[in-house]
Homo-oligomer: A and B are copies of this chain.
Amino acid sequence: MKPTNEFTWRRHYETVRKRSLMLAEPLSSEDCGAQSMPDASPVKWHLAHTTWFFETFILEPMEAQFAPFHPAFRVLFNSYYNGIGERHPRAQRGLLTRPSLQEVRAYRANVDQRIARLLAEHADDEALAALIELGLQHEQQHQELILTDVKHMLAQNALYPTYSSASPAAPDTPPAAGWVDFAGALTEIGHDGDGFCFDNELPRHRQYVLPFALAARLVTNAEYLEFIDAGGYRDPALWLSEGWDQVCALSLAHPLYWRRDAHGSWHEFTLHGMGPLAPDLPAVHLSLYEANAYAHWRGARLPTEAEWELAARGADRGLHQMFGHCWQWTSSSYSPYPGYATAPGALGEYNGKFMLNQYVLRGSSKATPPGHARASYRNFFPAGARWQFTGIRLAK
Contacts and interface: CB of A to CB of B under 8 A. Distances in A.
B72 A159 contact: yes
A356 B291 CA distance: 13
Interface in A54-88: 72, 75-76, 80, 82-83, 88
A99 interface: yes
Interface string A332-345: 11011011000000
A98 B186 contact: no
Interface string A319-360: 000000000000111011011000000001100011111000
A161 interface: yes
A222 interface: no
Given A28-B97, A30-B30, A95-B36, A356 B338 contact: no
A331 B335 contact: yes
A7 interface: no
A94 interface: yes
A34 B36 contact: no
A256 interface: no
B338 A210 contact: yes
Interface in A152-168: 153-154, 156-159, 161
A33 interface: yes
A383 interface: yes
Interface string A154-194: 10111101000000000000000000000010100000000
Interface stretch (A116-124, A235-243, A257-265): A235-243
B383 A357 contact: yes
A161 B236 CA distance: 31
A331 B353 CA distance: 13
A36 B91 CA distance: 11
A75 B28 CA distance: 23
A100 B208 contact: no
Contacts of A44: 30
User: Which residue among A44, A75, A157, A336 has the maximum number of chain B CB atoms within 10 Å of its CB?
Assistant: A157
Contact of A186 (B96, B208, B241, B292): B208
A101 interface: yes
Nearest to A80: B241
Contacts of A94: 34-35, 94
Interface in A302-332: 331-332
A205 interface: yes
A29 B76 CA distance: 20
Interface in A105-145: none
A335 B244 CA distance: 17
Contacts of A208: 186, 206-208
B95 A157 contact: yes
Given A30-B100, A88-B158, 14 more contacts: A72-B158, A82-B236, A82-B237, A97-B161, A98-B154, A98-B161, A210-B338, A210-B339, A240-B356, A241-B353, A243-B356, A244-B353, A333-B335, A357-B357
Interface of A: 28-36, 44, 72, 75-76, 80, 82-83, 88, 92, 94-101, 153-154, 156-159, 161, 184, 186, 205-208, 210, 236-237, 239-244, 288, 292, 331-333, 335-336, 338-339, 348-349, 353-357, 383
19 contacts: A30-B32, A30-B44, A31-B98, A72-B158, A72-B159, A82-B236, A88-B158, A97-B154, A98-B159, A98-B161, A205-B210, A239-B353, A242-B357, A244-B353, A288-B356, A292-B356, A333-B333, A356-B383, A357-B357
